[in-house]
Amino acid sequence: MKYTTRQAQVAINTWLRQYNQIRPHHALNMRPPAPETRLEKPKINGRI
């Protein structure tokens, strides 16, 4: 099977999204891994 670079990148990105954001993980009580590792964005109050 021959892929263009673009086709390969789309396939890899699709797999990564499914693996990190959708699939259930036993060690996380069947939750996907991504929500467990997200960091809250720092709040900016406009002062230096």
Residue 37 reports pLDDT greater than 70: no
Residue identified by tokens 């990105």 is 13
User: How confident is residue 4, by pLDDT bands cut at 50, 70 and 90?
Assistant: very high
The letter for the amino acid at 8 is A
> Is the C-alpha dihedral spanning 13, 14, 18, 22 positive or negative?
positive
User: How confident is residue 10, by pLDDT bands cut at 50, 70 and 90?
Assistant: very high
Measure the CA–CA gap between 38 and 35, rounded to whole angstroms: 5
Measure the CA–CA gap between 48 and 44, rounded to whole angstroms: 10
pTM, to two decimals: 0.56
Segment 13-39 mean pLDDT: 82
Task: Give percent of the chain with pLDDT exceeding 90.
Answer: 29
